[in-house]
């Protein structure tokens, strides 16, 4: 497969021409860059800047996640939980409306091994069991969200996905990074 990407509106006008008839055309979401306000020196500043409606949503979300332990995972922990990690990722990927590929089972261990401290892997545990994870990549002064996975049954009850988004925002603000959400099939822009 050969893909060409990032065409602007003027260039795509040529696509109806017959020389492109054999090409399959599709569009995806671009990266979404979350701009951190100069006034936000901590995540608490971000929360304070939310409207009452979204501040209430934030509080409700955090309350639902009580009892869930979040922790940064090492290479060895990623390898030891590789099967569970893949199952959590694969569930999310299978339910995406568009997917061009699925990651290899050892993908996250390979990324951690190659990128070391530039690749952050956070596991979410309930009663010692991994129920979700998110990943971030340090990219200069920007923090890129990467893949995530979760147990759908617990996700709904504990608002796990939304809690992960808040955690990624918090990390970026607290550490002074810009935040880039890579095209995420489950992105809900209303959160921000």
Give the Cα separation of 169 and 192 in Å (integer): 9
Instruction: Check residue 49 and give its pLDDT.
Output: 94
At 88 the three-state DSSP class reads: helix
Q: What is the mean pLDDT of residues 169-192?
A: 65
Measured in residues, the chain has a length of: 192
171 close to 136: Cβ distance less than 8 angstroms:
yes
Quote the pTM value: 0.79
Question: Which tens digits make up the pLDDT trace of 3-57?
Answer: 555 566 676 677 777 777 777 666 655 566 777 888 899 999 999 999 999 999 9
Question: Which tens digits make up the pLDDT trace of 111-134?
Answer: 999 999 999 999 999 999 999 999
Average pLDDT score, the chain? 85
């Amino acid at each position: 497969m050969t893909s060409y990407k990032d065409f602007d509106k003027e260039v795509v006008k040529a696509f109806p021409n017959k020389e492109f008839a054999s090409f399959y055309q599709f569009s995806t979401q671009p990266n979404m860059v979350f701009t951190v306000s100069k006034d936000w020196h901590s995540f608490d500043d971000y929360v304070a800047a939310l409207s009452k409606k979204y501040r209430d949503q934030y509080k409700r979300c955090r309350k639902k996640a009580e009892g869930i332990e979040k922790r940064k995972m090492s290479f060895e922990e990623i390898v030891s939980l590789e099967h569970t990690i893949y199952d959590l990722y694969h569930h999310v990927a299978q339910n995406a409306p568009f997917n061009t590929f699925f990651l290899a089972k050892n993908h996250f261990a390979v990324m951690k091994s190659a990128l070391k401290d530039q690749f952050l892997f956070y596991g979410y545990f309930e009663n010692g069991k991994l129920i979700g994870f998110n990943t971030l990549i340090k990219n200069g002064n920007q923090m890129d969200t990467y893949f995530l996975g979760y147990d759908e049954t617990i996700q709904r009850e504990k608002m796990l996905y939304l809690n992960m988004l808040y955690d990624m925002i918090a990390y970026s603000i607290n550490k002074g990074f810009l935040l880039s959400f890579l095209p995420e099939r489950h992105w809900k822009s209303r959160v921000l």
